[in-house]
Amino acid sequence: MTFPLSSLERLADNLIQGRGVFFIGSGFSLDSEPNSAYTILARIIARLEALIIQLSKVELYEKFMSMFYVEGHNNNKVDPQWVQCNIGRYYEINDWICSAYDIVLGEYKSKSKTLTNIKIFFDDVNNSESNIFLRVSGKHTLPPTTPLNETLFISYLSLGPRYRGKAMFLDTVGFDNPKIMAGDAITLPTLLEVSNAYQGVLKPRHFILARLAREGLCPVLITTNFDLLLEGGYRLSGLKPLDNTNSSLAYFYEFFRVIGDPNTFFDSGDGHRTAMIVKIHGCAHHYRTLRSKVMVHKPSKHAVESWRRYLDDVVYTYREIQNWRDDAWARDFVRTQARTRTLAFIGYSGIDPVIHDTLRTVYEEMSRQRLQDSPTKKPEEATCYFFDIQNKSSFHGEELLRSASRARGVPNPPLDEHPNLIRFYTSAPKSPMLDEMLTWTFHRTFRRRQKELLHAHLSTVASLLLGHPLAVSLRDSIFLYFDQLVKNEFNIINNSTRNQLRDDLRHVTLWSGQFHRLLLQEYHLAQECAATGATTTADRYEHRYEPLIDHPLHAAWGVVVEIALRRMIAKRQGKLSQWTDNDYWWHPVAGVAPPYPGLKLSFGLQPAPTLLFIVPQGVRIAGLHTRLRGLSVGICIFWELPYSVLFWPTGRTNPVYPTHGRHASLHVPSAQDLLSWAGEKRSPNNSHEFLP
């Protein structure tokens, strides 16, 4: 399997134009939270069997086993093999068990007055359920469901027939349980609490989608998922949940809104300068909010009715996936996005008959509206991309892609694997994996936006720093060098071997994912300090992302800093002509404690690398150095940026060291020095003045 560079380049072109909409399915987060169809079936069957045993409804279990009979299997009891064989009937089993739960709850209601000890009854149910779940799933590491109790059953029964079974089904799946569906990005007040709530389950892909939303490039995301992982990525990346009290828009995309039901869509579906996560099958957070208002003594009729009504909005059973029911808002929204945007499906199988038919119908309609096909159109011009696992059958995805090609005027898309089908591996050491592909796609989109801002704002920022206009020849030279850098990054990955690919991807993408992200963070915090009169700020956290579009002048200057550093280091190593290479001996720092932009450098025969950090003035350098001990580093150099400086010091200053007297002759380059290194064709001969 080769890295799909061409496909991802086309996708990046769509993203930078603001045309991209990601459509996220359940496979997107299976390695974050193992809520697979297999696990869900094991949970709901274990609870049903435990209740049947305690309520002596054995005939109900016999009906279940007869309904979902497996040929050649001992159909007396469910075991892992039986579950595996019935995954294809997942929605049917969900539907049947919702009805069975309804019957069981009715049976409990009729027998509850005759139970001698209700607490013992529920203890027996919960213990039995735990043992059955281990037998059915064969897994000992999965978090348990919320134990049943009398209060829960009273709440279920208040919903009435049909709804009570659906409510218990969703609780069994994990809708009510943060250990199964982790996180709360909406109501928790601090980012530390939000981070702790997600317990490390978020992956790079969740933050990549959030960064694209923050840039305003992908402000709309559609998902069939119920979990709260996307919201976690958005919140920890710097987006704030929008409510009726924080509607001020100081930045282009500062807020996000989760659309998980029709009313929220009607109230906030316009998405004006607000990132939207549109959950067309329902949302666990909204479910928990409504449920919590019923889990009290004497809940109001309105609370019970609100919970009951939302149960119909959550799509989980065979009947519910047959049509759009009352969800015309979701149907029309998906249709509009398919007609006007480029959809990128990730973790979505395309098997869902309703959504598949809706998308195919839209593409077929677009194809019919064309007066004639175009023989010059190519299948890859389809406004649709489909990510799928390597070596997996992708019939439904391929059919969507071919329909999208016809919509673009391709008369007969070939039956060969579609060029917009992007395959990935699911486990190391094989590469590329999904996170690597999305990180690369973001990096290429990031470079495109950098180029836009560099061309638009370099002259302005340089004039502010120099006090006079930037020479056109120097400006054009910087433009040229940046184009060379971006082109060579493509060539590096294109020529990378299978064994080198993971390291090459990491070293290239660290420039956007670490260096520039952290540099923009420092500039943003400096602006905040200047606005508030503060002299320092501790508002730094691991995944914070400041969008380029909100800091266009700083974004343009960041390109100058990068090119200058690359050329300076390459000259110091005696290989200036290779300054765009992906050199193992120098790259952005990652995985170390200080949350500041930095580079890891090695010169000559140095036994340990040098670390160079750009930090705000006033940081306790000795404390930072203590945090870096044990990393086998040699020299640590810190270039300080005063909060009073808008972009970069106009004159040379002295770097700061953890200990005095080492390399005392070095300087922090001035703005003029960096511009010269970034643009002059004959590089200066003073790199030794800045680097050891």
Q: Which conformational region is residue 387 in: left (phi greater than 0), alpha (psi within -120 to 50 degrees), or beta?
A: beta
Number of neighbours of residue 126 by Cβ within 10 angstroms: 18
Residue among 495, 531, 492, 534 at smallest CA distance from 511 = 492
What average pLDDT does the segment 540-568 reach? 94
Quick one: pLDDT band at residue 382, thresholds 50, 70, 90?
A: very high
Tokens of 612: 């160079």
Q: Distance of CA 321 to CAs 225, 312, 327, 501, 571, Å?
A: 14, 12, 11, 41, 62
How far is Cα 144 from Cα 152, in angstroms, rounded to an integer? 16
What average pLDDT does the segment 539-559 reach? 92
Are 459 and 474 within 8 A, CB to CB? no
Q: Which conformational region is residue 210 in: left (phi greater than 0), alpha (psi within -120 to 50 degrees), or beta?
A: alpha
Handedness of CA 381, 382, 387, 389 (dihedral sign): negative
Indicate the average pLDDT of the chain: 90
Ranges 153-167, 504-518, 532-546: which has the least confidence? 532-546
What average pLDDT does the segment 202-228 reach? 97
What average pLDDT does the segment 484-504 reach? 95
How far is Cα 540 from Cα 428, in angstroms, rounded to an integer? 31
> With 60 as the cut, is the pLDDT of residue 357 above it?
yes
How far is Cα 221 from Cα 203, in angstroms, rounded to an integer? 17
Q: 3-state DSSP call for residue 471?
A: coil
pLDDT of residue 72: 73
Ranges 249-258, 344-353, 381-390: which has the least confidence? 249-258
Residue among 441, 469, 416, 600 at smallest CA distance from 12 = 441
Instruction: Check residues 666 and 282 and name the one with the higher pLDDT.
Output: 282
Are 342 and 383 within 8 A, CB to CB? yes
How far is Cα 611 from Cα 366, in angstroms, rounded to an integer? 56
Instruction: Check residues 128 and 320 and name the one with the higher pLDDT.
Output: 128
pLDDT of residue 248: 61
Are 541 and 595 within 8 A, CB to CB? yes
- pTM across the whole model: 0.94
pLDDT of residue 660: 42
Buried b (16+ CB within 10 A) or exposed e, 373-384: eeeebebbbbbb
Quick one: pLDDT band at residue 652, thresholds 50, 70, 90?
A: confident
How far is Cα 412 from Cα 406, in angstroms, rounded to an integer? 7
> With 60 as the cut, is the pLDDT of residue 658 above it?
no
Quick one: pLDDT band at residue 324, thresholds 50, 70, 90?
A: confident
